[in-house]
């Protein structure tokens, strides 16, 4: 069970990490931010999209809240960014945020602040 305190702590850590960075993959955040990695898969169920596995509940909740609050900016990227950072998902790749009939991976990178 995640606590609001844990979510707020990782949220502030993510904000500090992304403050002066852009083009950051979720692999980098799992590697560099304590408490970001875990056993949850971030999905966008109503669009049939997988964002990334191996995240903590708190990280997923914090990232979604930060996107809604426009504190961070997600951008669809090429799978090669993830390959370069050390991993990819073995599934079809989504080219944009929309509903798909079959499950797809949406590779995203993040920057601090809204565009």
3-56 per-position pLDDT tens digit: 788 888 999 999 999 998 899 999 999 999 999 999 999 999 999 999 999 999
At residue 30's C-alpha, the angle toward residues 8 and 63, to 5°, is 40
Domain extent for 90 = 4-112
Domain count, the chain: 1
At 114 the pLDDT is 56
At 5 the pLDDT is 87
Q: Quote the mean pLDDT of the chain.
A: 93
At 73 the pLDDT is 92
d(C-alpha 32, C-alpha 86), whole Å? 13
| pLDDT over 70 percentage in the chain | 96
d(C-alpha 16, C-alpha 101), whole Å? 37
């Amino acid at each position: 069970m995640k606590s609001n305190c844990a979510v707020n702590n990782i949220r502030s850590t993510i904000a500090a990490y992304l403050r002066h960075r852009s083009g950051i993959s979720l692999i980098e955040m799992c590697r560099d931010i304590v408490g970001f990695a875990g056993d949850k898969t971030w999905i966008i169920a109503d669009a049939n999209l997988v964002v990334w596995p191996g995240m903590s509940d708190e990280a997923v909740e914090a990232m979604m809240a930060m996107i809604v609050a426009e504190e961070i900016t997600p951008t669809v990227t090429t799978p090669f960014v993830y390959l370069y950072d050390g991993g990819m998902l073995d599934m079809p790749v989504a080219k944009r945020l929309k509903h798909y009939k079959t499950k797809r991976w949406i590779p995203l990178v993040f920057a601090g602040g809204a565009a």
